[in-house]
Amino acid sequence: MMRTTVAIIGAGPAGLLLARLLDVAGVDSVVLESRDRAYVERRQRAGILEQGTADALRAAGAGDRMDREGLPHTGIELRYDRRRHRVDFPSLTGGRSVLVYAQTEVCKDLIALRLRTGGPLLFGAEALAVEETGTQRPRVRYRHQGRERVIECAYVAGCDGFWGVSRKAVPPALSRTYERTYPFAWLGVLADVPPSHDELVYARHDRGFALLSQRSPTVSRLYLQVPEHTDAAEWSETDVWDELERRTETDDGWRLKRGPITAASVTPMRSYVHEPMRHGRLFLAGDAAHIVPPTGAKGLNLAVGDVVTLARALVAHHATGDPAGLDAYSATCLRRVWQAERFSYAMTAMLHRHPDATPFDDRLQLARLDRIATTRSAEADLAEAYTGLSVD
């Protein structure tokens, strides 16, 4: 049997950052990850880091490559009715901005740090169950290298995503879930072509939403709203580029750059919150506790906010025995989570076309966009939420 202070399930950005923050504070942990290292370091996920997320990575010693290779963004562009409006973040938020740096790269940096410091990080270790969370010594059962094993610990951090085992350890009688599914999805593609615009472009069109994003000066990340259950293989490269051009066209002669598409996938859209985010000595973080539609760029950033809050509470309790931070963990995180859910839902509703939309619905979307483009308070509300919600 292995023993540690904190058993962390999941080596995504949440679990890896939590392990790093604990390591810096002298608190030992073990990280379990069901996939192999190659899979973790290549899976495509979010790419927008809020100001607070970037600052947290720097403080953890994981910001060097991010600062060299990340792309600072001081705004986004909204497109609708063939018009363009730029939202300038620093002037609306007191100087805040965001950074484009892919989640895959965050994971690579944190994995390298973990391996360098020697903390246990077990790939191919499938968590089977979280047990005894109401006691002083909870346990995690897992399978590694063909054998079933056990970790005994003081705390368990469930950073294992929506389909992981951690949330199942919360008794159903104590769980409350809130969910909304959407009748559309995102077709996302990676393309070997320089970005067509130097900032992200969010486009509302009668044919559906489109997003022009990027991963580097030579790689673009692009999205189209498609019907739910769409198969990415149904779309040819020409179809993708033609539809992106239609949905992002403007009256000022702007043109979309085209290039070879190297990857394509479909992402379903869901809003989900599980309450509470703590049961006994089990703490849920990231997608294990909440999902947001990607329109607001909040998923990765919410996960970072969770583990920064959790690390602070664990370190305080470990050092002084003060349980205040741990007792407040769920309520503290949920205040931020629900604000992120609000923002992500509002962005999704404003920019996506519902299959049953009426002309009245269409005009309401345009009115919302006009409000942002013409009213500083509405524009500032978007900028403040986009660049980062407080982790406290």
Q: Is 298 a catalytic residue?
A: yes
> 181-269+354-387: which CATH architecture?
2-Layer Sandwich (3.30)
Cα-only R_g, the chain: 21
Give the confidence band of 146 by pLDDT, cuts at 50, 70, 90: very high
pLDDT by residue (tens digit) across 256-271? 999 999 999 999 999 9
Task: Using alpha carbons, list the distances in angstroms from residue 232 to 187, 220, 229, 241, 354.
Answer: 7, 17, 9, 14, 20
Q: Mean of the pLDDT values across residues 110-130?
A: 95
Q: Is 294 a catalytic residue?
A: yes
For the chain, the structural domain boundaries read 2-73+100-178+270-347, 181-269+354-387
Q: What is the CATH number of domain 2-73+100-178+270-347?
A: 3.50.50.60
pLDDT by residue (tens digit) across 18-51? 999 999 999 999 999 999 999 998 876 778 999 9
Q: Mean of the pLDDT values across residues 50-68?
A: 96
Number of Cβ atoms within 10 Å of the Cβ of 152: 15
Give the confidence band of 117 by pLDDT, cuts at 50, 70, 90: confident
Burial class (CB in 10 A: 0-12, 13-18, 19+), 232: middle
Catalytic residue among 202, 223, 317, 352: 202
Query: pLDDT at residue 185 above 90?
Result: yes
pLDDT for residue 390? 60
Query: pLDDT at residue 208 above 80?
Result: yes
Q: Is 386 a catalytic residue?
A: yes
Q: Mean of the pLDDT values across residues 298-316?
A: 96
Which of the residue ranges 1-5, 163-167, 371-375, 380-384 would you say has the lowest mean pLDDT? 1-5
Say which DSSP state 96 is in. Answer: -
> Average pLDDT over the chain, rounded to whole?
95
Catalytic residue among 73, 205, 279, 318: 73
Q: What is the pTM of this model?
A: 0.94
Catalytic residue among 142, 279, 294, 329: 294
Catalytic residue among 80, 101, 182, 386: 386
**Secondary element (H or E) of residue 334:** helix 324-351
Q: Mean of the pLDDT values across residues 291-305?
A: 95
Catalytic residue among 205, 290, 298, 317: 298
Q: Mean of the pLDDT values across residues 202-226?
A: 95
